[in-house]
Chains A and B, each alone.
Chain A
Amino acid sequence: MTALLVLEQLLNGLQLGVMLFLLAAGLTLVFGIMDMINLAHGSLYMVGAFVAATVAEYTGSFMLGLLAALPAAALVGMAVELIALRTLYERNHLDQVLATFGLILFFNELVRIVWGPRAIFMDVPEALSGTVEIVPGAPYPAFRLAIIAAGIAVALFLYFLITRTRIGMLIRAGASNREMVGALGVDVKLLFTLVFGLGAALAGLAGAMAGPLFAVEVGMGEGVLILTFVVIVIGGIGSVRGALVGALLVGLVDTLGRAFLPTLLRLVVEPATADGVGASLSSMSIYLLMVAVLVWRPRGLFPAHG
């Protein structure tokens, strides 16, 4: 019984980790190549979720919603890059933080005007609405398994893209020394825009898949954005591999902490105190994890530069 519960929570943690990886991968690439801190990444996640929810509602097909969310988020991302962010690459981080903070306010309000202030609830697609027995006697929602599978697919795709293709080579070169890449005749601006679009599409994918799990609402991007920051800091800024490891760590620690910390504390202290302290501790657990990692390695687990 307990073993099955642990298995279920492990899968939940894995699923959260995979979602975080989709966001962290795009964000860390933008950091790595453009040295740009982009708070508005969560807004692209929100846009993806809203577009997916709307298209799914009109067509009745979750898949179509998902397919619409990817290009929509990518287009919005590239438009933002062209209009606003491009002027910020040469600025310092403070300017970037402030300007992208402004973008968040803008997008939140825009979404509130277009879709209204109320949360939208998406249905889990019918084909994935059932459960799968991974081991006998342990049914697990098929949709969550599909998210894990999608995340693994994206990770493999990114690995192939970055290590085996020409554009991946340019991305790696850009992360090491972007002036030199430009001097060698590569259109760095176009490369930036494309990378940004890729990151935005991944954020949109995460948003679309999050739709049936959480409420689709204004401001949904911010909480997950900060989790993503924790992931990137733990993994090492600019490293996709670090983003994967960090995302899985954060997903597992957060989920397992919430599930089991209160129970474990009950063994030591009285139940009422255990529940209270457990709830506080588990909501802080990933930040404590981050502190531990940083004390050990100030530049994250897989520092991309030097």
Chain B
Amino acid sequence: MVDLRNLNRRQAVHLVALAAAILLPPVVLAADEPFFISLASRMLIYGLAAASLDLILGFGGMVSFGHAAFFGVGGYTVGILFTHGFQGSEFLGLFPGSDNALIVWPLAMLVSGLLALAIGAVSLRTGGVYFIMITLAFAQMLYFFFVSLETYGGDDGLSMYGRSRFPGLDLSDDTSFYYVCLALLLLFLWLGHRLTRSRFGMVIAGVRENERRMIALGFPVYRYKLACFTIAGAVAGLSGALIANLTEFVSPSMMVWTKSGEIMVMTIMGGMGTLIGPVFGVAAFLLMEEVLSAWTEHWQIVLGPLLILIVLFAKRGIYGWLVGREGGR
């Protein structure tokens, strides 16, 4: 148990954030502003996506510019199976659809993970600028694939007529759904934290710092990186599955390349290589988007230069700024 009298600054930040996340639904419901629950759910879901990107970007030093692809494929897995379940038809004539969260969410992770395995297997053969552009190109390939996939709505996307069923919970209730997202995010942050402190995480960090030395030490660097890439892809798939449930809609725009850019921006804004930092980045980014877009429709003209300034002067991110010097990795 944490002794409240000897909290250091980082623990205090975590505790305040956790308390705010838990108390948010009753507070906004009391204030009769239920819109904020859906906004906060979006923050948690994108937070999961950004934290998963941080695993490869911050810890692994792999600049993947195609993370939204896994996000989108996770969403489509849920959307397509939901549609088949709704129509009573079968996917490719092989197996029936489903709207059971315990089936389709892990399946979304599996599909995205396998896809990440395939994409990573090719992309990780290269490095540097090549890696950035190849991951971008793969994501764009999947984007065009889903645009031309007329069976599942093509460019217009696919509407779901409800959310996944979760045994014992009513996910169509926004508050319940919010807490499920929160639980999943916390679970990943905890597992991810354990992972980065494990031997596996140490090797990944070693590769980031000096790949050549790790190879010389005899580590199968390629396989470690591929495993890391696959895990991140699977978790991004889960967040895609969640966003499909939140909006009850999936479309190719989930994996357009600017979405990958946005997730990357959120990760950097929050503080790279901290796992929890990107969640703060997401919250700040989405809040800023709400505020600026209410103020002017041309809000991106503010965001663009702001981004450049953040890159140039504030690389430690919001989290680094909140927890002070000790918060760096």
Name A's B-contacting residues (CB within 8 A): 31, 35, 37, 84, 87, 91, 93-95, 97-99, 101-110, 112-113, 222, 226, 229-230, 232-233, 237, 276, 279-280, 283-284, 287-288, 290-291, 294-295, 298-300
14 contacts between A and B (CB under 8 A): A84-B308, A95-B311, A99-B307, A105-B300, A222-B257, A233-B133, A276-B149, A279-B148, A280-B148, A280-B149, A283-B147, A283-B148, A284-B144, A298-B126
Contact in complex: B63, A233 (CB < 8 Å): no
- CA distance in complex: A231, B239 (Å): 32
Q: Does B168 contact A (CB under 8 A)?
A: no
Nearest-neighbour CB distance to chain A for B121, whole angstroms, equals 10
Nearest B residue (CB) for A91: B311
Contact in complex: A110, B301 (CB < 8 Å): yes
Nearest-neighbour CB distance to chain B for A68, whole angstroms, equals 24
Contact in complex: B298, A93 (CB < 8 Å): no
Contact in complex: B300, A97 (CB < 8 Å): no
Nearest B residue (CB) for A100: B308
Please give, as numbers and ranges, the residues of chain B lying within 8 Å of A105 by CB-CB distance.
300-301, 303-304, 307
Choose among A103, A226, A280, A295 the residue that contacts B304 (Cβ–Cβ < 8 A). A103
Contact in complex: A237, B308 (CB < 8 Å): no
Nearest-neighbour CB distance to chain A for B225, whole angstroms, equals 15
Overall SS of chain A's interface? helix
- CA distance in complex: A102, B312 (Å): 12
CB-defined interface of B297-329 with A at 8 Å, one 1/0 digit per residue? Answer: 010110111111011100100000000000000
Q: Does B50 contact A (CB under 8 A)?
A: no
Q: Does B234 contact A (CB under 8 A)?
A: no
Please give, as numbers and ranges, the residues of chain B lying within 8 Å of A87 by CB-CB distance.
312
Contact in complex: A93, B129 (CB < 8 Å): yes
- CA distance in complex: A280, B264 (Å): 28
- CA distance in complex: A288, B147 (Å): 17
Contact in complex: B261, A101 (CB < 8 Å): yes
Please give, as numbers and ranges, the residues of chain B lying within 8 Å of A290 by CB-CB distance.
134, 137
Please give, as numbers and ranges, the residues of chain A lying within 8 Å of B304 by CB-CB distance.
102-107, 109
Contact in complex: A280, B145 (CB < 8 Å): yes
Nearest B residue (CB) for A295: B122
Nearest B residue (CB) for A229: B133
Query: Given known contacts A97-B264, A112-B298, A283-B147, is B130 in contact with A299 (CB within 8 Å)?
Result: yes
Contact in complex: A106, B300 (CB < 8 Å): yes
Query: Given known contacts A98-B265, A99-B312, A106-B301, is B133 in contact with A283 (CB within 8 Å)?
Result: no
Contact in complex: A37, B129 (CB < 8 Å): yes
Overall SS of chain B's interface? helix
Nearest A residue (CB) for B138: A287
Q: Does B8 contact A (CB under 8 A)?
A: no
Contact in complex: B141, A287 (CB < 8 Å): yes
Please give, as numbers and ranges, the residues of chain A lying within 8 Å of B147 by CB-CB distance.
283
Please count how many residues in chain B sit with their CB below 8 Å of the partner chain's CB atoms: 43
Contact in complex: A294, B145 (CB < 8 Å): no
Choose among B63, B140, B151, B298 the residue that contacts A287 (Cβ–Cβ < 8 A). B140
Nearest B residue (CB) for A104: B304
Query: Given known contacts A226-B137, A294-B122, is B148 in contact with A233 (CB within 8 Å)?
Result: no
Please give, as numbers and ranges, the residues of chain A lying within 8 Å of B257 by CB-CB distance.
222, 226
Contact in complex: A99, B308 (CB < 8 Å): yes
Contact in complex: A37, B132 (CB < 8 Å): yes
- CA distance in complex: A301, B133 (Å): 16
- CA distance in complex: A279, B146 (Å): 11
* B 111-154 contacts with A by CB, 8 A: 122, 125-126, 128-130, 132-134, 136-138, 140-141, 144-145, 147-151
Q: Does B268 contact A (CB under 8 A)?
A: yes
Interface centre among A112, A276, A283 (most CB of B within 10 A): A283
Query: Given known contacts A102-B303, A109-B300, A109-B301, is B264 in contact with A233 (CB within 8 Å)?
Result: no
Nearest-neighbour CB distance to chain A for B259, whole angstroms, equals 12
Contact in complex: A101, B129 (CB < 8 Å): no
Choose among B130, B141, B265 the residue that contacts A101 (Cβ–Cβ < 8 A). B265
Interface centre among A31, A91, A98, A103 (most CB of B within 10 A): A98
Please give, as numbers and ranges, the residues of chain A lying within 8 Å of B268 by CB-CB distance.
94, 98
Q: Does B65 contact A (CB under 8 A)?
A: yes
Contact in complex: A229, B136 (CB < 8 Å): yes
* B 284-304 contacts with A by CB, 8 A: 298, 300-301, 303-304
Q: Does B283 contact A (CB under 8 A)?
A: no
Interface centre among B257, B258, B311, B315 (most CB of A within 10 A): B311
CB-defined interface of B247-288 with A at 8 Å, one 1/0 digit per residue? Answer: 000000000011001001100100000000000000000000
Please give, as numbers and ranges, the residues of chain A lying within 8 Å of B310 by CB-CB distance.
98
Nearest-neighbour CB distance to chain A for B53, whole angstroms, equals 12
Contact in complex: B307, A294 (CB < 8 Å): no
